Homo-oligomer: A and B are copies of this chain.
Amino acid sequence: MELSERKKKILTALVESYIATAEPVGSKALAAVIGCSSATIRNEMSELTTMGYLEQPHTSAGRIPSPAGYRLYVNELMERQKLSEAETAAINEKLARKDEQIEQLMNEVGQLTSSMTQYPAYALTMKPPVAVKRFDFIYVDQNTFIVVALLTDNTVKNKLIHLPFSVHQEQITTLSSLFNANFTGVTDREITDSIIRSTERAARDTYGLVAVVASFTMECLAAARTAPLRVAGASQLLNQPEFRDPDKAHELMNFISDGSHLMDDLPPAGMGSDGLRVTIGPENLAEELKDSSVVMASYDAGGGMRGYIGVVGPTRMDYSSVAAKLSYIAAGLSRLLAGTDAPAGLNNKLVLKESERHEQERREE
């Protein structure tokens, strides 16, 4: 059922007022904004309450939005915010330093997101499986050599291997051709015991080294797909009035500081076509997040990799502003990492509606 225009206006104003002040909103305050008497507002609010969009903390306080109210606000009512010059400049400046190490960059992205939004933020990259493109072996001395593996995603991994016995140059060369023959182009899943066994059989006098290098190889490949999740600005939570209770704050901070939980929940499903997803309060799967909201954006990290940034905050989160900022940062990262521009119209102003409608439909099934 569709809401009347006025109801929409009231809900919008109420949500925004509550987001700004964290105080329940009364009919009087809204009357001024909407332009009719407080009694009328009261009637409307009463209906909105029975429809489930508003809640009353107690009989004689104002109303606050229910999760459903926030949902409606996010899906249909919220203004697509534009970032200020200063904000876009700050983001661009941070992202401009392209020559940084990727890990370093990801770390700073978390902090950037957190400081821009004033909420705790996290950033993670999901990578597709990689394989080794080529191996090189560097002979250092009798007991020592270095394995260098160039991966398909063009990162290079290496390891210094120190042996309790001595080898000579030719053995290393043999090893090199063995590994380049048998271990290139295979992902970590595809390295089976049988490959290792057969390589070992072919290895002859370098027999003992195969296992060492093979395990290094597997480590590399596994490490390359593992997503390094960075959490930044967890202490920002303490700025929010809803976390002035230290016990609540502590609980949620513990939860988000240890990123593994976040990963379970967040990346897989429900990303809108615009790369944004908002989960509000009880929509979150994790028990610890039932009173919080999560906004996340995904970006193209190049080579089929998909990255995610997100923020966690109270349900009374400033969705509009956060969505705009995340979207802008994500677009910047896409451009930076993958050279792809974001889908049309996504750069600065947001197009949430499309994706959110999908989600709405899903929810109503």
Contacts and interface: CB of A to CB of B under 8 A. Distances in A.
- Please tell me the size bucket of the interface on A: 20 to 34
Contact of A250 (B140, B238, B254): B238
Contact of A156 (B134, B160, B235, B257): B160
Interface string A125-165: 00000000010101010000010101000111111101000
A342 to B, nearest CB: 25
A121 to B, nearest CB: 13
Contact of A148 (B134, B138, B246, B253): B138
A156 B150 contact: no
Contacts of A138: 136, 148, 150
A109 interface: no
Total copies of the chain: 2
A117 to B, nearest CB: 16
A18 interface: no
B136 A146 contact: yes
Given A234-B234, A238-B246, A238-B253, A150 B155 contact: no
A4 interface: no
A345 to B, nearest CB: 33
Nearest to A151: B160
Contacts of A162: 154
A150 B154 CA distance: 20
Nearest to A257: B235
Given A154-B160, A156-B158, A238-B247, 9 more contacts: A136-B138, A138-B148, A233-B257, A234-B253, A235-B254, A238-B246, A238-B250, A239-B250, A246-B246
Interface of A: 134, 136, 138, 140, 146, 148, 150, 154-160, 162, 233-235, 238-239, 243-244, 246-247, 249-250, 253-254, 257
18 contacts: A136-B138, A146-B148, A146-B156, A150-B160, A154-B162, A156-B158, A156-B160, A157-B158, A233-B257, A234-B234, A234-B235, A235-B249, A235-B254, A238-B247, A238-B249, A239-B250, A244-B246, A246-B249
